[in-house]
Structure 1
């Protein structure tokens, strides 16, 4: 199932016929409810049903032939916590059952693609939104429609106040728009401390990468060492390295905050990574995820 993507913008779009949704900081997830059961699909196309048994159980209450697009998040101390989502996504099936009890997931649905076996992607967003709300509101958590407004002033208030709850920005859609599968047909406004960077190398070993060496799109282009990778990201980076024909030796060095000069292994070509950072150097950039979409 090819999902819709969003193009980044620097300012809040305004105008008639626009809808605004909070952009949750989680993992993109497509829910497919068939007559035979439930499949949860990541943005990459990988099946992750076993990692989220709580969401799979909730999705069985959906009518057969339903496909939803949304974000899986984990709430902790009043805000969404991306590191906990990573932890859930990387869990073994046995561990996932335990984490479903201690770190329950929520599903912030923002579109319905199929309903009762009928493909509704060609219908306007306004109509799909109504179908989504009618479908999920009677069920309640953990499957919930994301908030939506057509008031740009309210959207601007969300943008300024919701980051305290872990919301990373806004997604803007046209009310008359069909579902743009595989295309950047939506727009996203993210807070400026979240941006894409080039991962030009990594510290540690090919089997256990510790941090990424990043070149940020701001500053003087000096490589920076990220904060330590989460377990899920270490696994993902190691898989990327293993898939490449040869592993570069750790011949280059880079300055790491608090550590001085450390060796690293170059990545050629570089990886694209989404990072969060408060300034160019302090604290170190935090890698949120690898960018696998085109």
Structure 2
């Protein structure tokens, strides 16, 4: 049985509030764990069945249950949560590869909510009641964990997330019921990294600006594509001045001289030096 998960709105800045609890934001992907009639199925937030990808999570609870949480991977070299590793696990399809990755890149299912237990629908209960029930449920193996939380002190938690270079935090109203939609009762605050880039081209078909940074040796290195956060005025401004900067084109892109600089915010850098989900902030007119 799949239950569409409750989604978060975005808070513009860290906040504290006596009616909220605050949790670390885990840099993995959403996972609904469903055990019905003793059969376990795992789903992404879009109801994609990913049961076969995570054999270490196919261990039964003492009764039927539906959980909400995040599945994540720890980089064995750094001891840090690594989004690319969990995506590597999620994209593995062949059983031989899955078994190999299970031993070298095991996942942890970080549980933050219980939606159904022992045949009872818990979604109309206040969050703190669901948390209390969750705290009393034994986890089936070491690959399951329950996320910690603190009450009221969101800004203090976010300061810790920044210091540890973690993804951010989530604030949840203590009395919130579980709604299968995006809700202001749950809010995320992302620990963004800000980067200055050159806009070095654009897509011909769908929207996207190519970005690059200058390396220590003075060369341009591509860093990905801006697709998010660009307002209509910024699009018009760039396309209004870029005609004189065109250096060439191919089937998919028009390439520009590195004259236009922009500030972007990104969740982090990928291992191959790309910006992860960069969003436009503003043009850098001082450079």
> Do the structures match in fold with TM over 0.5?
yes
Question: C-alpha separation between the residues in 2 aligned to 1:201 and 1:211?
Answer: 13
- Compared CA separation, residues 149 and 251, structure 1 to 2 (3 A): closer
Q: 1:286 aligns with which of 261, 276, 280?
A: 276
Deviations 1:87-123, CA, capped at 9 Å, x for gaps: 0000123211111111110011010000111110000
1:162 deviation in Å?
3.0
Q: 2:57 aligns with which of 55, 58, 62?
A: 55
Question: C-alpha separation between the residues in 2 aligned to 1:189 and 1:211?
Answer: 24
Paired position in structure 2 for 1:81:
82
Paired position in structure 2 for 1:18:
20
TM alignment of 1:213-292, pairs within 5 A: 213-217=225-229, 250-255=251-256, 275-276=266-267, 284-287=274-277
- Length, aligned pairs only: 230
When normalised by structure 2's length, the TM-score is 0.70
Question: C-alpha separation between the residues in 1 aligned to 2:12 and 2:92?
Answer: 36
Paired position in structure 1 for 2:65:
66
- Does the CA contact (< 8 Å) of 1:54 and 1:100 recur in 2? yes
Larger radius of gyration: 2
1:217 deviation in Å?
2.6
Question: C-alpha separation between the residues in 2 aligned to 1:251 and 1:43?
Answer: 32
1:215 deviation in Å?
3.8
SS across alignment from 1:200: coil
Question: C-alpha separation between the residues in 2 aligned to 1:256 and 1:117?
Answer: 62
1:52 deviation in Å?
0.6
- Does the CA contact (< 8 Å) of 1:80 and 1:166 recur in 2? no
SS across alignment from 1:87: helix
1:276 deviation in Å?
2.9
- Does the CA contact (< 8 Å) of 2:33 and 2:42 recur in 1? yes
Q: 1:200 aligns with which of 192, 207, 227?
A: 207
1:51 deviation in Å?
0.6
Paired position in structure 2 for 1:127:
129
Which stretches in structure 2 are left out of the alignment for 5+ residues?
A: 195-202, 211-221, 240-249, 259-264, 279-287
Paired position in structure 1 for 2:246:
none
- Compared CA separation, residues 277 and 75, structure 1 to 2 (3 A): closer
Paired position in structure 2 for 1:182:
181
- Compared CA separation, residues 130 and 124, structure 1 to 2 (3 A): same
- Does the CA contact (< 8 Å) of 2:192 and 2:266 recur in 1? no
- Does the CA contact (< 8 Å) of 1:32 and 1:38 recur in 2? yes
- Does the CA contact (< 8 Å) of 2:72 and 2:81 recur in 1? yes
